[in-house]
């Protein structure tokens, strides 16, 4: 289903020097692959060991030396509910530093095109569903990830301020929950979907016949395959130039119970799935309104079933080489 317009409004030169911050992560890795597919040959990336984006001097030196013309900010300290809730000070501080350093350095060398990635957690806890972009800053945040959300909201403001003050064509995209090759399957730090994949897989291997999933199973969540997100990011860079944030989602959601059963099928776990009702459910529904993106002509390509199959295959191929944190 190829629906993207053939002539982009703001085409990127295929020989542009593109810096993908966080290029080894779930999102950055997918964007890197997508840019390769599109014929970009001048890509630069640096691991956090090579360039700690919290180090302001190092970031300025990197930008002054490399002089990228396009910047994609997919670097962040990221984690699931447990990690966010356990390390709120670090989630706030690291993410603010990463963004401020990168955007200030990008401004210092006149980077004209930049894409900042936020997250659906920036929206108020009780935002009307599906969540429209206009609901930003209209209510209180979910307390388990408010530090992360505030950092991301500051990033959105930095993009808007840079547009206003320097006339940059910088944009901010707000992805829904993502999954795919390169995800974090860490037992404590992962998001819900890779966490469930790993637990069902381990139960299958060790012959455990019951796996419990947090809460009642009734909350509904939306999941987008990460290569679709990468296509959307590239599409937005070439077709969207506005200070307004834009949601990137699948457009449909699924209950945690149904998701668990789907994952069990993909993984081949045949035991029972019980609900641990002592654990919180979180918000009953979280679905992004994607009409703004749809109106531009973009649609996802990969169904949840297909995306899960690919992700589980990747997990099996990398099982002994997964992230350690
Ligand atoms: N995953 C999701 O479901 C989801 C949903 C919505 C939005 N997003 C957004 O997408 C972006 C990327 O998330 P992700 O899921 O791809 O996370 P990820 O897989 O954990 O990747 C994050 C990347 O950031 C880099 N990084 C972290 N701290 C750094 C530092 N101090 N200096 C330099 N690099 C640093 C890491 O580099 P190294 O590997 O070299 O350490 C890593 O490659 C984030 O802004 C996130 O909010 C993600």
Is the CB of 52 inside a 6 Å radius of any atom of ligand 1?
Answer: yes
175 Cα distance to chain centroid? 5
Q: Is 209 annotated as a binding residue?
A: no
Active site residues: 148
Instruction: Reduce the DSSP state of residue 198 to 3 states and report it.
Output: helix
The helix (run of H) or strand (run of E) holding residue 70 is strand 70-73
Q: What is the pLDDT of residue 4?
A: 62
- Is 228 labeled as ligand-binding? no
Q: Is 308 in the pocket of ligand 1 (CB under 6 A)?
A: no
195 lines ligand 1 (CB under 6 A): no
CA–CA separation, 130 and 253 (whole Å) = 10
Structure tokens at 5: 């317009």
- What integer pLDDT is reported at residue 322 of this predicted model? 81
CA of 79 to the centre of ligand 1 (A): 9
The DSSP 8-state label assigned to residue 14 in this structure reads T
Among candidates 223, 320, 204, which has minimal Cα distance to 267? 204
Q: Quick check: 21 and 220 in contact, CB under 8 A?
A: no
> Which one of 20, 49, 71, 75 would you pick to mutate in the ligand 1 pocket, going by the greatest count of ligand atoms within 8 A of its CB?
75
Residue 117 Cβ < 6 Å to ligand 1: yes
Q: Which residues of 224-260 are buried (b: 16+ CB within 10 A; e: fewer)?
A: bbbbbbbbbbbbbbbbbeeeebbbbbbbebbebbebb
With beta carbons less than 8 A apart as the criterion, state whether 135 and 224 touch: no
pLDDT (0 to 100) of residue 126 = 92
In the chain (325 residues long), the average pLDDT of successive 10-residue segments reads 70 97 97 97 97 98 98 93 85 97 98 97 95 98 92 98 98 97 88 93 96 93 98 98 98 97 97 92 90 97 98 95 77
The number of residues making up the chain comes to: 325
Domains and CATH numbers, the chain: 18-319 (3.40.50.720)
* The predicted structure's pLDDT at residue 281: 82
Interaxial angle between packed helices 88-108 and 56-66, expressed in degrees from 0 to 180 and rounded to the nearest 10: 30
What distance in angstroms lies between residue 270's CA and the mean position of ligand 1's atoms? 33
pLDDT value for 277: 93
Q: Is 298 annotated as a binding residue?
A: no
Q: What is the pLDDT of residue 3?
A: 54
């Amino acid at each position: 289903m190829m629906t993207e317009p053939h002539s982009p409004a703001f085409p990127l030169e295929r020989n542009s020097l593109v810096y993908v911050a966080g290029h080894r992560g779930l999102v950055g890795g997918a964007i890197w692959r997508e840019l390769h597919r599109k014929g970009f040959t001048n890509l630069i990336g640096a691991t956090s060991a090579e360039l700690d984006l919290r180090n302001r001097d190092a970031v300025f030196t990197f930008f002054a030396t490399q002089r990228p013309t396009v910047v994609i900010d997919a670097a962040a300290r990221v984690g699931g509910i447990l990690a966010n809730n356990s390390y709120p000070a670090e989630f706030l501080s690291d993410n603010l530093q990463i963004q401020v350093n990168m955007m200030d350095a990008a401004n210092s060398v006149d980077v004209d095109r930049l894409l900042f990635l936020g997250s659906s957690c920036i929206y108020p806890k009780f935002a009307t569903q599906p969540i429209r972009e206009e609901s930003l800053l209209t209510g209180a945040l979910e307390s388990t990830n408010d530090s992360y959300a505030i950092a991301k909201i500051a990033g959105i403001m930095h993009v808007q301020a840079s547009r206003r003050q320097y006339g940059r064509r910088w944009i901010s995209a707000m992805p829904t929950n993502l999954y795919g090759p390169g995800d974090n399957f860490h037992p404590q730090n992962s998001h819900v979907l890779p966490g469930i994949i790993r637990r069902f897989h381990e139960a299958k291997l060790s012959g455990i016949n019951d796996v419990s999933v947090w809460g009642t199973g009734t909350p509904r969540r939306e999941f987008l395959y990460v290569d679709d997100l990468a296509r959307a990011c590239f599409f937005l860079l070439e077709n969207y130039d506005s200070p307004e944030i834009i949601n990137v989602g699948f457009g449909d959601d699924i209950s945690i119970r149904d998701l668990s059963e789907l994952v069990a099928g993909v993984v081949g776990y045949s035991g029972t799935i019980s609900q641990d009702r002592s654990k919180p459910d979180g918000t009953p529904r979280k679905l992004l309104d994607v009409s703004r993106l749809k109106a531009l002509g973009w649609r996802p390509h990969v169904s949840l079933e297909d995306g899960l199959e690919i992700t589980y295959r990747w997990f099996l191929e990398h099982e002994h080489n997964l992230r350690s944190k």
